[in-house]
Amino acid sequence: MRKTSDMADAPTHLRLDATRQQGASLVVVLLLLVVVSLLGVGGIQIATMAERSARNDRDLQIAWQGAEAALMDAEIDIDSESFGTGSRRSLFSDKPDLTNFVLDCGTTGNQKGLCANVEGDKPAWLTVDFLATSSPRYVTYGEFTGNRPFVTGKGLQAAQKPRYVIEAIPDPRDAEVEKPAERRHVYRVTAMGFGPNQSTQGVLQMIYRD
């Protein structure tokens, strides 16, 4: 007696249903693979963005720290009498000799990085190229104070030394004093620091009253 399989013995419509179910299972598995793949790619992208964000934040912190160091260096530069270092103390006072503060900022000697302001004009610090290497109009960290060297280089170190400029501006307390020669001055210090990459920059500013 010839034997036949159960499927062969099954009605035609049942055999067609089984074939359709097997095809539907394949589609479901493929869809699940696509979803899992998309989730995997999305997870990789999120992890990459998080790592990049953390690295950028770290680099920016290094730049901020450099700018803070430059502000402290400028404070010593201005008030070297109190700190015992620096060579330009005689240039700074409540009523400084403004001839030492140059339009567009000085580039040489004791006038380097000292900026004069013309009332109504753009603040001097906005005109300074802090990346210039030829006749820079800024003061590099330690240049006048003799502070310990600021380490730069590869890795987690700043790409360049921080730098700053000092502007002599009228003291707001003397706004009603009519004679300019009798007005006191304060000093606006603008400092720039760098991260491991020169393009990562941090700028800080302070007003120093002697």
3-state secondary structure 82-129: HHCCCCCHHHCCCCCCHHHCECCCECCHHHECEECCCCCCCCHHHHCC
**106: three-class secondary structure by DSSP:** strand
- Tell me the range of 9-23, 50-64, 72-86, 103-117 where mean pLDDT is highest: 103-117
- Strand duo 114-115 + 163-170: pairing: parallel
User: What pLDDT is attached to residue 203?
Assistant: 95
User: Is the pLDDT at 96 greater than 80, yes or no?
Assistant: no
How far is residue 96's CA from residue 208's CA, in Å, rounded to a whole number? 13
How far is residue 25's CA from residue 32's CA, in Å, rounded to a whole number? 11
Segment 27-74, tens digit of pLDDT? 788 888 888 888 888 888 888 787 777 788 889 999 999 999 999 999
How far is residue 180's CA from residue 184's CA, in Å, rounded to a whole number? 9
Asked if residues 106 and 137 have their Cβ atoms less than 8 Å apart, the reply is yes
Kindly report the pTM of this predicted structure.
Answer: 0.73
N-term to C-term CA, the chain: 116
Q: In sequence order, which residues have a C-beta less than 8 Å from that of residue 149 and are 6 or more positions away?
A: 142
How far is residue 89's CA from residue 92's CA, in Å, rounded to a whole number? 6
Find where tokens 């104070």 sit.
145
Where do runs of H (alpha helix) occur along 6-148? 6-9, 12-78, 80-83
